């Protein structure tokens, strides 16, 4: 897309001496790549010529997505398993080469009131959402640091700040992810490796369907019914722009508004979201 000066965005970034859009990434891993925003991101990278390893446990979705392009490669990976993550990352490096980019989008998002949410269910959420993040990051980071090059785009969530009823465990896992990535990006800032935290609002993807199929908050039900859930393609547009601008934390669409609302007026926030439960 041309800028006001007439240069394309990619040309402008090259002139600035950086390529935050990752258009030169030779090898990428995208978790959650069989559906939703992970799938969209993987498709876009593949279209730019990147060799993309898609990680997911959805075998049918993996096969269908990988069949779309010779640049998409399916790897069945359970990100809640440290052993599986390390094994599959090693396979990617062996088959495709050093990893230039990690896009970590995989997550689980059921909804349950905290009094009803089983300990086993909450532990599973943390294994997938939080520890899955740490496993993936730690699997790719040493090689990136050794090369003083690489990029990590990790999906946290505005739900880690703008809390809602019936999603307490999910909100807790995303608050943990948000904290982890924000600390990481500052610890590695001078290493040549960049980390970006993405905090989207509720998006119209199969992930939000997990919430709607359980004990969903009323606010999300109404957003779905009235067509107010964020469009996933537009979310990836906003994320790519945020990465292009080298932003540490990216709040697509209404997420920044929700962040300020919950932070500056928590009483009003809770009064509003609880009205949907009546």
Q: Which residues are catalytic?
A: 170
Burial of 187 (C-beta count, 10 Å sphere; 0-12/13-18/19+): exposed
Instruction: Give the Cα separation of 222 and 225 in Å (integer).
Output: 5
Q: Which token pair is 234?
A: 């537009």
DSSP 130-183: IIHHHHHHHHHHHHHHHHT-EEEEEE--GGGTS--TT-HHHHHHHHHHHHHHHH
Helix axis angle, 168-187 to 132-147, nearest 10°: 10
Q: Which token pair is 81?
A: 């398993």
Q: Give the CA distances from residue 216 to residues 52, 166, 168, 170, in Å, rounded to whole numbers and listed in that order.
A: 33, 7, 11, 12
Element housing 90 (H / E): helix 82-96
């Amino acid at each position: 897309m041309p800028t006001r000066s007439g240069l394309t965005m990619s040309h402008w970034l090259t002139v600035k001496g950086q390529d935050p859009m990752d258009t030169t990434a030779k090898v990428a891993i995208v978790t959650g790549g069989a559906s939703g925003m992970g799938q969209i991101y993987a498709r876009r990278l593949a279209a730019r010529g990147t060799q993309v390893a898609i990680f997911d446990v959805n075998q049918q979705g993996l096969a269908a997505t990988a069949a779309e392009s010779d640049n998409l490669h399916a790897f069945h990976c359970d990100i809640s398993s440290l052993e599986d993550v390390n094994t599959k990352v090693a396979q990617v490096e062996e088959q495709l080469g050093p990893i230039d980019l990690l896009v970590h989008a995989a997550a689980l998002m059921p909804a349950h009131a905290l009094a009803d949410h089983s300990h086993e269910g909450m532990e599973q959420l943390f294994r997938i959402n939080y520890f899955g993040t740490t496993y993936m990051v730690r699997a790719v980071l040493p090689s990136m640091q050794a090369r003083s090059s690489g990029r990590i785009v990790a999906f946290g969530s505005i739900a880690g700040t703008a809390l809602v009823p019936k999603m307490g465990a999910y909100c807790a896992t995303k608050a943990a992810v948000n904290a982890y990535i924000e600390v990481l990006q500052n610890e590695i800032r001078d290493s040549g490796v960049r980390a970006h935290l993405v905090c989207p609002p509720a998006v119209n993807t199969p992930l939000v369907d997990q919430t709607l199929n359980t004990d969903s908050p009323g606010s999300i039900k109404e957003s779905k019914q009235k067509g107010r859930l964020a469009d996933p393609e537009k979310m990836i547009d906003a994320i790519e722009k945020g990465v292009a601008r080298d932003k540490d934390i990216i709040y697509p669409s209404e997420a920044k508004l929700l962040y300020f609302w919950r932070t500056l007026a928590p009483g009003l926030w809770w009064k509003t979201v609880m009205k949907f439960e009546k």
